[in-house]
Structure 1
Amino acid sequence: MKDVTTQLQQLRDKAEALIDKRQLSPEDVSEESLSRIWHELKVHQIELELQNEELRKAQQTLSISRDRFAMLFHQAPVGYLVLNPDGLILEANETFCRMIGAEAGTILSRGLNDFLIDEDKGTFLARYRAFYNTPDEKSMELGIRVTGDAVRYVRMSGTRMQQPSAGPTGKSLEERLLVTLIDITDLVLAQKTLNAHLGHVQAMLALLQHPLDNSKDFLEMVLQTGISITESRYGILMHGWDGRRFMVSAWSQEVSGDCRIADAQASVDLHNLDIVRESLHTREPVVYNDTGRLGERPAHFPPGHIPLQRLLCYPSAAGQGRVF
């Protein structure tokens, strides 16, 4: 009603100004003219009231739509970012903030490249300009650093959008890029595990196909395959016949460089290897994930032995002998 009252007051002021200009007096206006003017003013008043009511309804609808859009933007199951041509983050939804464990205030106006893992930064910088210009049917898979130095992998796709911006010449529309970031961490880790298993299978197949005419080469390949599959640093291969004494057959190059045993021997009594005795007796692989609890070196390993954090003992029977 305030808008209607204001408009009526403006009409009144204009009318009074016209009367003053024309120097009209009440005697110059007939009763019929006054009645017609009064009717027109009432009609105009009602028109203004109806227009004002429609305007209020439109504002309410716009407010509801804006709130609904904000809710969909921030509570979407995927991350949303609005980027400028330089890759700076102009807007970020709450999902993306939760994804990387950061507050929105620490994200805005920073480059997306700041949050990527080192190995993906070069790829992003090299491809972003072309991605920004023509994002349709394009995507990038990126690793994002999150709180605690963890990594979350995402697939990024985008679409161009126009965003209103207030400039010195008034409001204008600026081109922006709205990107969607879908969390594919589980998929990437599963693929890495699958690739690792495939590599293990291929290594075992290569081992099975290796000729046995040279036992030294074969044992060396067995050792290197074991180190590769278990992702170990050191590897030692021993064999024995009587279950009491074992001969060192091969060892990895790292052993030679890091081992500082003063009196190294090619054979070792089993009673001096009680840390692997369980594996021998059960004929099952045994893993020690924390040899530190046993002291600086595994029990009964001689001074100068290579430092061990984790230890895998894997027995393999061959005829009457056993190989570790």
Structure 2
Amino acid sequence: MNEQSDKVIQPAELRKRAEQEMQALSDEIIDPWLTDEKRLLHELQVHQIELEMQNETLHEALTQTEEACLALEREHQRYFELFDFAPIAYFKLEQNQLIRKANICAANLLGSDQSQLVDQDFSIYIPSAYRPVFHKFLSNIFLSGIRQSCELALQVGETQYWVTIEAIVDISKKSCLMAVSDISGRKRNEELLRCVF
């Protein structure tokens, strides 16, 4: 049982506690042969104490809920900052290659706004010669569930550059998380070394 359900007071226990509190407040001894009016007054007073106890329990639960919501909001903000302001391009992609989420670096990489990338097919940024490679890469990720990487070219407008993509299936198994790094400088250096030797 969790802590919250442990604090729920059963009606019989609530009644018993209210009776005890009423007894402590009252100087007179409760006579089992009370008149109807006194018995009714006694019942109303006990019921009022029960309601006050329930109100106190609800107030405590509300306070705990508010604190939990604030903690959750702080965690969400922390995640947002880690994802959105990361110094590497992050994407969340579905199996059908649709972008579900992209951080600021990803938007800059593709020369677009974050909001414009959502629901866009990632493969439109891949030259047609590399699309089969990317499709196989994405299929392997979803089939294996293991983190994988590949290198391929991206095309943004007239500019083509090389990237390395690392991806893994997320917890839902319906989308994957991709980190994309521009390796154009490294590829140029490799090409220069090949030309020299």
1:214-253 equivalences in 2 (<5 Å): none
Q: In the alignment, residue 155 of structure 1 is paired with which amino acid?
A: T
Unaligned segments of structure 2, at least 5 residues: 1-35
Deviations 1:266-303 (A, max 9, x none): xxxxxxxxxxxxxxxxxxxxxxxxxxxxxxxxxxxxxx
1:1-324 equivalences in 2 (<5 Å): 27=37, 29-147=39-157, 149-163=158-172, 175-198=174-197
Q: CA deviation at 1:33?
A: 2.7
Residues 176 and 87 (structure 1 numbering): CA distance in 2 closer, same or farther, change over 3 Å? Answer: same
Q: In the alignment, residue 195 of structure 2 is paired with which amino acid?
A: A
Deviations 1:7-27 (A, max 9, x none): xxxxxxxxxxxxxxxxxxx83
Q: TM-score, normalised by structure 2?
A: 0.73
Secondary structure of the 2:59 match is: helix
Unaligned segments of structure 1, at least 5 residues: 1-25, 164-173, 199-324
Q: CA deviation at 1:186?
A: 1.8
How many residues align structurally? 162
Q: CA deviation at 1:28?
A: 7.6
Q: CA deviation at 1:103?
A: 1.5
Distance 1:91 1:196 in 2: 40
Q: CA deviation at 1:30?
A: 3.6
% identity of equivalent residues: 18
Distance 2:162 2:168 in 1: 20
Q: CA deviation at 1:135?
A: 4.7
> 8 Å contact 2:91–2:99 — kept in the other structure?
yes
Computing the radius of gyration from Cα coordinates, the structure with the larger value is 1
Secondary structure of the 2:46 match is: helix
Secondary structure of the 1:139 match is: strand
Q: In the alignment, residue 71 of structure 1 is paired with which amino acid?
A: E
Secondary structure of the 2:170 match is: strand
Distance 1:79 1:133 in 2: 24
Higher helix fraction (1 or 2):
2
Q: TM-score, normalised by structure 1?
A: 0.46
RMSD: 2.1
Tell me which of the two structures has the higher relative contact order, counting C-alpha pairs closer than 8 angstroms and 6 or more residues apart: 2
Distance 1:110 1:45 in 2: 51
